[in-house]
Amino acid sequence: MSDTMNRIPSPRLFGLAEAMAKLEQDISFAAQSDARVLVTGDSGAGKKYVAQLIHQRSQRGDGPFIVVNGEDLTAARPEREDRPAPRLGDSLLQASNGTLFIQEIERIPAAIQKELLRAVEIAPGRNVRVITATSCDLFELVQANQFSSDLFYRLNLIHLVLPTSSLSRTGVRAYAQSAGTDFEAASRS
């Protein structure tokens, strides 16, 4: 038996495996429901990927998956446009029978927060599921009056927290080391 086969994975790898197993369970739970989901995690942690998995595994999986960035949403088109900004109403219509995924929900302007709140309240009639994502603590923004508390509670019916990037990097390093791979060399190539 080779030396590589005799190595025991680092406990950090087991921690990552547990975190990823819990995330997989949470994704499955969210996919079985039609409730709104808030996904939080570090930048680059895979929030969009998680939202896509929820959508694909849900009964809406054959419908559209529309992605918009929170800061780009507008209530109405500005008279002069350097680049077209998605309107909330248009995005909801495009997502009919599917999912509207709003990235960086914390960046939605206050006026759009109010419009989104109204839209979320009637979303079941529009047959649209709303999944949102953020890399910040949205509850802190609510407490600082920088984000609508009503909207927060309506979007946060199911809350998925992704493992931190540092845990993911630690887990990948531990896995690479347990497999006999020089992680530093591999990450440079």
127 in a structural domain: yes
What residue numbers bound the domain in which 105 lies?
25-75+83-179
14 in a structural domain: no
Domains held by the chain: number: 1
Distance (Å) of CA 38 to CA 6, 50, 58, 134, 186: 42, 11, 16, 8, 34
118 in a structural domain: yes
Residue 148's SS3 state is: coil
- pTM here is 0.76
Looking at residue 48, its pLDDT comes to 93
32 in a structural domain: yes
55 in a structural domain: yes
Q: Max alpha carbon distance in the chain (Å)?
A: 71
Averages of pLDDT over runs of 10 residues in the chain (189 residues) are 47 64 91 94 90 94 94 62 67 90 93 87 75 94 94 94 64 44 42
**CATH code, domain with 143:** 3.40.50.300
What distance in Å separates the CA atoms of residue 186 and residue 55, rounded to the nearest whole number?
33
104 in a structural domain: yes
Q: Which residues contact 94 (CB under 8 A, 6 or more apart)?
A: 64, 66, 100
Q: Which residues contact 176 (CB under 8 A, 6 or more apart)?
A: 182, 183, 186
47 in a structural domain: yes
128 in a structural domain: yes
- Write out the H or E segment, with its range, that includes residue 65: strand 65-69
